[in-house]
A and B are shown apart, each in its own frame.
Chain A
């Protein structure tokens, strides 16, 4: 029983740790580089998305 509780606790910690790492990845790393927009096809007469 104790082993099972320990295994579940360890598993939870590992999954929690993994999820934490995933969500704490940086949101944007760009410094001087600039990606094109996901939305627009870029036209000066169009919307600036």
Chain B
């Protein structure tokens, strides 16, 4: 990293103006030239500026910092203890605040990923905004991570179109830099997940296959399992069920070998969904029950499992079991009021509760006045189709054909929108 960019970054970080930093050392315009690398300042000037910024210039320390940074960057991609990541971050922050290091810019860029991993999205955004000011001096490697992590930020906010744009720019940078195969595969995997979120099925298959090739060579079994799950989802969507099941089974096998419950249960979740979509409720229920009963799982995953289970029992008219599942779902919901999807699950659970209890007025009022507008606002087209259809069917049963047509039409229009993507 050039000394000029380094000084600029440190000055911005400390909230200092050019005037304040230059005062008594150089003119403001000269400082501006140094920062923008349009001139090379003498070592004395650099030393004075660094002293004012409270920074040491020590080559030996830089080597240690570089190693520590590399370790910390790896921690952000591997499975690691939260406390350990935070501790390493604090140590590096303190060191980099007083020693001039070439790793500083990379550290600042990786902070975006760090905040995202901790779920501190506001801090991640603040870091992005702060780095925007100095992004003009980024080299190709910096730019690769800059775009990748900005994509990660969009992913975390469910803005998958924007995320895809960022990942594609990062992918373009690959020609200009030398990265480890596993790093390249990580980006390919990320793109595969994003394509899957956007329902670009063939692209998701293409990128999953690219990534899995590397992960197999590197014996990275968990990532292999995750790619198999993506392939399972994609093949189900194009109705190649046998191939989808084969990939899910491979994912589960890898999960079992590595004793990784999350992989196993994510496979169960998706297998359940596959069997449900081909009308095999018995198999679907078997898989959903496994997810719901696993108390080691995150609440969000169990809520997805239990809402799927309620739908399946409702579908086969086993209302007693559906009731029990609703009670269990309410218990889980109570534990997750902070969950981002709390409202969604709350609506789903109450919709089925009213439907099963034949509380027609409450059902209509909830779905029509609250749930459907909520889904429209979230652009959650998948659920919008499902619940518009459910409401339309209900109106049809009541002989309210005009209302029924209105919601069948809404479901159809939404479906067309999804197909036209």
A-to-B contact residues, CB < 8 Å: 22-49
Is A32 a contact partner of B223 (Cβ separation < 8 A)? Answer: no
> Do A36 and B193 contact each other (CB < 8 Å), given the known contacts A30-B382, A47-B82?
yes
B386 adjacent to chain A (CB < 8 Å):
yes
Q: Is the interface of B mostly helix, strand, loop or mixed?
A: helix
In the complex, what residue of chain B is closest to A42 when comparing beta carbons?
B262
In whole angstroms, how far apart are the Cα atoms of A26 and B379 in the complex?
5
Q: Mark B215-229, 1 if CB is under 8 A from A, else 0.
A: 000001011001001
B116 adjacent to chain A (CB < 8 Å):
yes
Q: Is the interface of A mostly helix, strand, loop or mixed?
A: loop
Segment at the A interface, from B62-70, B158-166, B403-411: B158-166
Contacts of A30 in B (CB 8 A): 197, 382
B421 adjacent to chain A (CB < 8 Å):
yes
Q: List 18 A-B contacts (CB under 8 A).
A: A25-B161, A25-B421, A26-B418, A27-B158, A27-B379, A27-B380, A30-B197, A31-B386, A32-B304, A32-B311, A36-B226, A38-B155, A38-B189, A39-B117, A41-B79, A43-B79, A44-B296, A48-B298
Contacts of A40 in B (CB 8 A): 79
B261 adjacent to chain A (CB < 8 Å):
yes
In whole angstroms, how far apart are the Cα atoms of A6 and B13 in the complex?
49
Q: Which one of A26, A36, A42 has the highest number of Cβ atoms from chain B below 10 Å of its Cβ?
A: A36
Q: How far is the CB of A17 from chain B (nearest CB, A)?
A: 14
Q: Mark B355-386, 1 if CB is under 8 A from A, else 0.
A: 00000000000000000000000111111001
Contacts of B383 in A (CB 8 A): 31
Is A34 a contact partner of B304 (Cβ separation < 8 A)? Answer: yes
Is B197 a contact partner of A32 (Cβ separation < 8 A)? Answer: no
Is A34 a contact partner of B270 (Cβ separation < 8 A)? Answer: yes
Is B381 a contact partner of A33 (Cβ separation < 8 A)? Answer: no
In whole angstroms, how far apart are the Cα atoms of A48 and B116 in the complex?
11
Is A32 a contact partner of B276 (Cβ separation < 8 A)? Answer: yes
Extra contacts, 8 of them, besides A42-B260, A46-B82 (Cβ < 8 A), are A29-B199, A32-B276, A35-B230, A38-B190, A41-B222, A43-B260, A43-B262, A46-B81
Is A47 a contact partner of B117 (Cβ separation < 8 A)? Answer: yes
Contacts of B266 in A (CB 8 A): 34, 36, 42
Is B199 a contact partner of A39 (Cβ separation < 8 A)? Answer: no
Q: Mark B298-311, 1 if CB is under 8 A from A, else 0.
A: 10010010011001
Number of interface residues of B (CB under 8 A): 59
In whole angstroms, how far apart are the Cα atoms of A46 and B381 in the complex?
33
Q: How far is the CB of B134 from chain A (nearest CB, A)?
A: 25
In whole angstroms, how far apart are the Cα atoms of A36 and B233 in the complex?
10
Contacts of A47 in B (CB 8 A): 80, 82, 85, 117-118
Q: Which of B136-168 contact A (CB under 8 A)?
A: 152, 155, 158-161
Is B382 a contact partner of A44 (Cβ separation < 8 A)? Answer: no
Is B79 a contact partner of A45 (Cβ separation < 8 A)? Answer: yes
In whole angstroms, how far apart are the Cα atoms of A46 and B98 in the complex?
31
Q: How far is the CB of A42 from chain B (nearest CB, A)?
A: 4
Q: How far is the CB of A2 from chain B (nearest CB, A)?
A: 35
Q: Which of B151-198 contact A (CB under 8 A)?
A: 152, 155, 158-161, 189-190, 193-194, 196-198
Q: How far is the CB of A45 from chain B (nearest CB, A)?
A: 7
Q: Which of B263-285 contact A (CB under 8 A)?
A: 263, 266, 269-270, 272-273, 276
Is A38 a contact partner of B194 (Cβ separation < 8 A)? Answer: yes
In the complex, what residue of chain B is closest to A34 when comparing beta carbons?
B269
In the complex, what residue of chain A is closest to B152 when comparing beta carbons?
A38
Q: Mark B236-248, 1 if CB is under 8 A from A, else 0.
A: 1000000000000
Is B196 a contact partner of A35 (Cβ separation < 8 A)? Answer: yes
In whole angstroms, how far apart are the Cα atoms of A35 and B378 in the complex?
19
Contacts of A24 in B (CB 8 A): 379
In whole angstroms, how far apart are the Cα atoms of A40 and B155 in the complex?
13
> Do A28 and B197 contact each other (CB < 8 Å), given the known contacts A33-B273, A43-B260, A48-B298?
yes
B78 adjacent to chain A (CB < 8 Å):
yes
Is A44 a contact partner of B261 (Cβ separation < 8 A)? Answer: yes
